[in-house]
Amino acid sequence: MAWTESAEGAAVTTRKLIPIKQESVNQQEQAEDRLLRQGWRRITTIGEPRLSEIVETYKTLGYDVHVEAWKTEGEDCTSCLDEDQATGKVLGTVYTRRSETGPKEDELF
């Protein structure tokens, strides 16, 4: 997260957004099946700013991370996520798998 100063002198934050692949619901179901066959594990569906934080945390712990755009699917109740999406909130489903390269080196240690 970076801090910048606005024209009025107040500090504001700028955040890096995680790129999310856009697909139709049918393609999304196929994409999830493909990801699961490739060893990915579905972790959560969540919106920004927590989406970026979860992605960075898993990467730091040594996981490969993949994010798919969230779309309404199936018969389950999705009213909360639908409302978030209707208000413009970015939602993504996070998938992880163990990285072959291991965890990132921590700059502090």
Let me know: does 12 contact 6? Beta carbons within 8 Å. yes
Q: Which of the pair, 57 or 87, is modelled with greater confidence?
A: 57
What is this structure's pTM?
0.63
For residue 57, report the phi and psi dihedrals to the nearest 5 degrees: -65, -45
Mean pLDDT of the chain: 77
Using the predicted structure, report yes or no on whether residue 33 has a pLDDT greater than 70.
yes
Q: Which residues pair with 61 in a beta bridge?
A: none
Place of tokens 């066959």: 37
Q: Say if residue 98's pLDDT is above 70.
A: yes
Helix (H, G, I), strand (E, B) or coil at 76: coil
pLDDT band at 94 (very low <50, low <70, confident <90, very high): very high
Q: How many CB atoms lie within 10 A of CB 75?
A: 5
State the pLDDT confidence band at 27, using cuts at 50, 70 and 90.
Answer: low
Average pLDDT over residues 25-46: 83
Whether residue 78 has pLDDT greater than 90: no
Which residue would you say has higher pLDDT here, 13 or 50?
50
